[in-house]
């Protein structure tokens, strides 16, 4: 089972979600993340994201930002988007119903009907904003892991 998490820059939200999901899922699951823009391509996650993950025992410092590509739709089984703008932009890249069906909102997949199912961008906030983002992603990741691991059985 292969999962791709997508946000805008791939330096704040989706790197955190990738690290959290990978820490919870069994090893045979593949987890990666990407952005809808290539502005930060090749960069490490934002320092504040690395710091909050580290506090919770997760190392995301080796990740590198990359943009999503059409090839990702062939590789991944689930493509989870952080907000509705990202969802829209990712759907625009799909080529078929089959590819479209892989794409959903991260919080919707988790069954969490909060914030209009959006994980808001913490980029313009502070350490507390990143902590809140981590908590939300952690709770949602737990729910997604439960769903995916019970499906895999
Ligand atoms: P992310 O946050 O989508 O959670 O990685 C952002 C980081 C950088 C920018 C936008 C969003 N930016 O425009 O530089």
Closest-lying ligand 1 atom to the alpha carbon of residue 86: 3
| Cα 9 to ligand 1 centre (Å) | 4
Q: Are 113 and 137 in contact (CB under 8 A)?
A: no
153 pLDDT exceeds 60? no
pTM of the model: 0.97
67 pLDDT exceeds 60? yes
Any catalytic annotation for residue 13?
Answer: yes
Q: Give the Cα separation of 93 and 79 in Å (integer).
A: 12
Reported confidence tier of residue 68, pLDDT bands at 50, 70, 90: very high
């Amino acid at each position: 089972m292969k999962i791709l998490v997508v946000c805008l820059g791939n330096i704040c939200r989706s790197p955190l979600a990738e690290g959290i999901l990978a820490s919870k899922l069994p090893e045979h699951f593949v987890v990666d993340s990407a952005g809808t823009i290539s502005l930060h391509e090749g960069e490490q996650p934002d320092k504040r994201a690395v710091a909050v993950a580290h506090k919770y025992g997760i190392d995301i410092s080796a990740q590198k930002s990359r943009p999503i590509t059409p090839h990702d739709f062939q590789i991944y089984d689930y493509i989870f988007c952080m907000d509705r703008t990202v969802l829209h932009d990712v759907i625009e890249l799909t080529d078929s119903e089959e590819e479209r069906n892989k794409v959903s909102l991260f919080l919707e997949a988790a069954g969490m009907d909060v914030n209009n199912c959006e994980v808001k961008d913490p980029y313009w906030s502070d350490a507390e904003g990143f902590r809140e983002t981590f908590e939300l992603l952690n709770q949602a990741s737990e729910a997604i892991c439960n769903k995916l691991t019970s499906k895999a059985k």
